[in-house]
Amino acid sequence: MESDPSDYLAVNRANWDSRAPLHAKGYGIDRLLADPSALSEVVAFDRARLGDLSGLDVVHLQCHIGTDTLSLARLGGRLVGVDLSPASLAEARDLAERAGAPIEYVEADVYSAPQALRRQFDLVYTGIGAICWLPSIKRWAQTVAALLRPGGRLFIRDGHPVLNALLGMVVAEEHPDRAQQPWVSGPGEATPALELPYFEQSVPLVWEDAATYASDQPVGSPLQVEWNHGIGEIVSAVLASGLELTGLVEHDSVPWEALPGMMSCDEATGEYRLRDRPERLPATFTLTARKR
């Protein structure tokens, strides 16, 4: 029986359940287990902006198979990971046990996390590729605020909404501005094009992708439901929830090849950026905030 995209939680839960065993074969797990001080590439990128986590109660929303969760624990936090996918949590618990890390994992969707956890934290952490699965950024920010103690912090690095609105396209016609700016893409050249919604929409994007970004193997449940959220919408939602914005940084790189064939990988960081004029694309952003 086909899944109904209107039940986005069921659709996305099935999708991530089918991805989990494939991702558990990669994601740098062997490296994390071989070296007790090793961090995931995502958390290594975040480390300079995270601050000291020693002794902090940290909740990692949408933790998936727990590689970033384990890395945050290795930075000194007392970690709780939350995810809607039981298969992902099974992999996360197995990783934590093999690594000897006392991490608690709770099955819940993001909006249900305050009721499932019934406690507050010093830090809410959300990593790459998370908020696009949520229909309302306002409700997400309210959830974050409910999970934070007074003085607690939010840290999110995620795909930039500009990147999420792009598709790689081939230029068909000459643009007159190339006469003055010869580096502008010409006919026959591939370039990023704004083709998908930038602002949050009530109707989601529904995709059916046979494979996942971390494996060539087919996924059992390829259907997925997504929403984009503009930077202004994200910032406004955070402020409206009672948090004080403490930082907003845009980066020209992202941890996966978001535009295949148009990006190159920095082997030192595992981050991808546009091969041609990377300065034109905000690929990810980091936002930090504090609860008053």
Alpha helices in the chain (DSSP H): 8-23, 29-34, 41-50, 67-74, 86-99, 113-117, 137-147, 161-164, 231-240
**pLDDT single digits (tens) 208-264:** 988 777 667 888 899 999 999 999 999 999 999 999 999 999 999 999 999 999 999
Sorted by where each begins, the domain ranges of the chain are 8-165+197-258+269-291, 166-195
Handedness of CA 225, 127, 156, 107 (dihedral sign): positive
pLDDT at site 2 = 45
CATH 3.40.640.10 assigned to 8-165+197-258+269-291: no
Residue 244 backbone class (left: φ over 0; alpha: ψ -120 to 50; beta: rest): beta
Q: Using one digit for the tens of pLDDT, what is the confidence trace for 85-128?
A: 999 999 999 999 999 999 999 999 999 999 999 999 999 999 99
Report pTM: 0.95
Across residues 79-90, what is the average pLDDT?
98
